[in-house]
Amino acid sequence: MPVYRHTIGTTSYRFNGLTDLLAKASPARSGDQLAGIAAVDAAERVAAQMALAELPLTTFLNETVVPYASDDVTRLIIDTHQPAALAPVAHLTVGDFRNWLLGDTADAAALAALAPGLTPEMAAAVSKLMRIQDLILVGHKCRVVTAFRNTIGLAGRMATRLQPNHPTDDPTGVAASILDGLLYGSGDAVIGINPASDSTAAVITLLRMLDDIIQSYRIPTQSCVLAHVTTQLEAITQGAPIDLVFQSIAGTQAANAGFGVTLDLLGEARDAALSLKRATLGDNVMYFETGQGSALSANAHYGVDQQTLEARAYAVARHFKPLLVNTVVGFIGPEYLYNGKQIIRAGLEDHCCGKLLGLPMGCDVCYTNHAEADQDDMDVLLTLLGAAGCNYIMGIPGSDDIMLNYQTTSFHDALYIRQVLGLRPAPEFEAWLHQLGIFDGNNRAAVTSALPEPFVRTLAQLT
Amino acid sequence: MTNPLVPQQPVVVANPWETLRRFTAARIALGRAGGSLPTAPHLAFQLAHAQARDAVQLPLDQAGVASDLQTRGYQTVRLHSAAPDRATYLQRPDLGRRLAEPSRETLAALAAHAAAPPELAFVIGDGLSARAIHENAVAFLDQIAPRLIAAGWHLGPVSLVAQARVAIGDEIGQVLGAAIVVILIGERPGLSSPDSLGAYLTYGPRIGVTDAQRNCISNIRAAGLSHEAAAHKLAYLLDEARRRKLSGVLLKDEAGTRLPLTAD
């Protein structure tokens, strides 16, 4: 194993291999401390960052952090790497790569061309040298556009996932939250339910309901029920109307095994979704969720820091051309990301690294009640992600997910960020909002005492 | 200046679908001030979050709970996990799963003086909500323990543990030599449930038992599963665990309970 060294004054620091170097260079967070791999003090962390800055980018093609022989994610990364795409920066060190990314050469076209040449470890490494403003700027320069029934990720736009969860999957309860969200202009990324039950019958009931709603109101969006991928495959077999196939993924084969998935299974799921031919504008049929700490939580981390492992999950995601990827950044709890500061930085790292790797990144701007975080922290992260050009955020009634027991962004939060930064919905969905009078010509919420015509009957039926 | 002859829009726009609130506890139809959350629902949310945060930070009143237990005639032992304080507890779940050394010695001395190892040992741990313990633990024991004693169960001492995770019951059960351990623990507070108690049953407790070998009864609280209903479920699970000499996934279907991802 190569040893990396760095000397500051009279102190010589030693790092045992890439894994140790990356872990020690990672900005402080509780998950790496829990794993026992973090820098012992602030000076060692900067020494590691200085050593990392001097490392040639090509090092990551020759030294892996998780063994090639025993991990299919490493094999995917190495076997699908495109050296020609890396060529413009292949001669650079990690430190010079940061400079290149911040420079004017690195525009949207150059960054899109570079993506297949970057490995997740390269993206993670350079992000560890970045401040928040660098993460925002580089993320902002990347553009990743995907399509199903609408177009997500265009410049100046931000979409929302309408997340109408209910603790017992009660269809009327779910419908009430959907109606609330639509009338607040939410739902262009997807209308996606986390089901309380993973039973195929319950999942199919929800899928049919979502399909009916999207068809009867002619909403240019897509649906998803975030059950296990095998449950969704079974639902497809039984004829259920599935738009997007969802799965949680992680950055090692063992962690994915903990989620009950393999790369083959994900490929099978994508083929099954494509075979339904339900998309009208594109072939992006997958929806993935990730989050720092999942591999450690599954005891499948190989001593690799959680941010590098998160970037490796993006290598899994990009292989399947997803419509949406989001990092559920504060869901996992304070033993991985302790407070608002750690959650905010992690959300921006994930957005930046995902975008560099060519992914349509969204972020579940969220926290649990045992984390040292609150609504102010989420406002900061939301605003910074808006500045960074994040493709989409979550939208739930009043920030309170009554099924998953955590807090994420609300319908109102999306209206706030649209107003402050002038961000518009996906164009097809925007036209629908204007047509129904949900948004006015300035994309401001417009529903007052009178409901849009199609919803008048619905409300009458429900009450 | 406003024109008195032109009708003004109210500053807070109410939503005409407020009637849908009866179908869900979700915070729908909150209205808007411009596009933002009006003051009343904003402060209602802040209060719910404050209550959940306070529940996480509230220290376990070991003296008070121990006194309540002793009044009822339970042998009680006060213990502490290896997590010295709340901040450490929140960042190091591994430490919350093990006893501090002095506590382990206290418990071992108690076990050495016992006539015989107990069939069942109850553990009460703060978990992520001491409030759940203060409001539910003794009242729940009042429901379940007399019923078990009448059915001939040999109960061990009740361990009262500060900074505890679920798995600390494994070490306690092992030291006591208990056949079954049940830990009553404060669950991760939700915005509308700062006081939720969980009960985890483990047959053959020992350090290293996995969550797949546990059964859980969740959401025990005034606005959730009643103490009486929870006691009924637990009594059923205990009888089955004793009869079949196991716990966990093999018991879960018949009992209709499942393991939530809380306070592990």
Question: Is there a contact between B90 and A173 if contact means CB atoms under 8 Å apart?
Answer: no
Residue A435 has pLDDT above 80, yes or no: yes
**Range 175-204 of A in CB contact (< 8 A) with B:** 175-177, 179-180, 183-184
Among chain B residues, CA nearest to A374: B49
pLDDT at res. B211 = 79
Q: Which residues of chain B are within 8 Å of residue A459 when distances are taken between CB atoms?
A: 16-17, 19-20
Could you give the CA distance from residue A430 to residue A25 in angstroms, rounded to a whole number?
43
pLDDT at res. A400 = 96
User: Per the structure block, which two tokens stand in for B251?
Assistant: 């018991």
Nearest to A369 among B14, B52, B93 (CB): B52
The answer, for B86 touching chain A at a CB cutoff of 8 Å, is no
Please check whether residue B129 is in contact with residue B195, taking contact to mean a CB–CB distance below 8 angstroms: yes
Q: Is A3 helix (H, G, I), strand (E, B) or coil?
A: strand
Mutate to test the interface with A, among B21, B28, B37 (most CBs of A within 10 A): B28
Lowest model confidence (mean pLDDT) among A106-110, A119-123, A456-460: A456-460
CA distances from A349 to A12, A95, A156, B54, B112 (A): 29, 17, 21, 31, 54
Q: What is the mean pLDDT of chain A?
A: 96
pLDDT at res. A297 = 84
Q: Which residues of chain B are within 8 Å of residue A366 when distances are taken between CB atoms?
A: none
Instruction: Spell out the alpha helix ranges (H) of A335-452.
Output: 340-356, 375-388, 411-421, 427-436
User: Per the structure block, which two tokens stand in for B39?
Assistant: 């003051």
The answer, for B92 touching chain A at a CB cutoff of 8 Å, is yes
The answer, for B45 touching chain A at a CB cutoff of 8 Å, is yes
The answer, for A410 touching chain B at a CB cutoff of 8 Å, is yes
- The length of chain B is 264
Question: In b/e form, how buried is each residue of A331-362, taking b as 16+ CB within 10 angstroms?
Answer: bbbbbbbbbbbbbbbbbbbbbbbbbbbbbbbb
- Which amino acid does the sequence have at A387? A
Residue B255 has pLDDT above 70, yes or no: no
Could you give the CA distance from residue A107 to residue B13 in angstroms, rounded to a whole number?
43
- State the pLDDT confidence band at B2, using cuts at 50, 70 and 90: low
Q: Which residues of chain B are within 8 Å of residue A30 when distances are taken between CB atoms?
A: 91
Q: Which residues of chain B are within 8 Å of residue A400 when distances are taken between CB atoms?
A: 26-27, 45, 48, 191-192
A376-400 average pLDDT score: 98
pLDDT at res. B251 = 77
DSSP string, A398-420: GGEETTTTEE--BHHHHHHHHHH
DSSP string, B177-220: T-SEEEEEEEPPPBTTBTT-EEEEEEES--TT--GGGEEEEEEE
Which pTM was predicted?
A: 0.92
Q: Which residues of chain A are within 8 Å of residue B252 when distances are taken between CB atoms?
A: none
Q: What is the mean pLDDT of chain B?
A: 91
Could you give the CA distance from residue A342 to residue A53 in angstroms, rounded to a whole number?
22
A299-312 average pLDDT score: 96
Q: Which residues of chain A are within 8 Å of residue B45 when distances are taken between CB atoms?
A: 375, 398-400
Q: Cα–chain-centroid distance for residue A463? A: 37
Could you give the CA distance from residue A364 to residue A407 in angstroms, rounded to a whole number?
10
pLDDT at res. B5 = 77
Please check whether residue A189 is in contact with residue A148, taking contact to mean a CB–CB distance below 8 angstroms: no
Could you give the CA distance from residue B222 to residue B220 in angstroms, rounded to a whole number?
7
Residue A105 phi, psi dihedral angles, 5° rounding: -60, -35
Could you give the CA distance from residue A324 to residue A285 in angstroms, rounded to a whole number?
9
pLDDT at res. B259 = 36
Whose structure tokens read 């382990």?
B104
Q: Each residue of A212-245: pLDDT tens digit? A: 999 999 999 999 999 999 999 999 999 999 999 9
CA distances from B206 to A179, B97, B174, B247 (A): 50, 12, 5, 13
- The length of chain A is 463
**Domain ranges (residues) in chain B:** 56-255
pLDDT at res. B256 = 40
The ipTM is 0.95
Please check whether residue A395 is in contact with residue A414, taking contact to mean a CB–CB distance below 8 angstroms: yes
* DSSP character at residue A8: E
User: What percent of chain A is predicted at pLDDT more than 90?
Assistant: 95
- State the pLDDT confidence band at A29, using cuts at 50, 70 and 90: very high
Residue B261 has pLDDT above 60, yes or no: no
Residue B263 has pLDDT above 90, yes or no: no
The answer, for B249 touching chain A at a CB cutoff of 8 Å, is no
Shortest CA distance to A324 belongs to which of A132, A153, A125, A138?
A: A153
CA angle A426, A150, A325 (to 5 degrees): 80
**Domain ranges (residues) in chain A:** 146-436
Q: Which CATH architecture has domain B56-255?
A: 3-Layer(aba) Sandwich (3.40)
* Top-confidence residue, B257 or A194: A194
Q: Chain A: nearest CA to B54, how far in angstroms?
A: 10
Shortest CA distance to A347 belongs to which of A323, A331, A330, A368?
A: A330
The answer, for B17 touching chain A at a CB cutoff of 8 Å, is yes
Third-level CATH fold of A146-436: TIM Barrel (3.20.20)
Q: Each residue of A127-136: pLDDT tens digit? A: 999 999 999 9
Nearest to B36 among A164, A174, A415 (CB): A415
Among chain B residues, CA nearest to A420: B35
The answer, for A383 touching chain B at a CB cutoff of 8 Å, is no
Question: Is there a contact between B191 and A407 if contact means CB atoms under 8 Å apart?
Answer: yes
Lowest model confidence (mean pLDDT) among A217-221, B36-40, B246-250, B251-255: B251-255
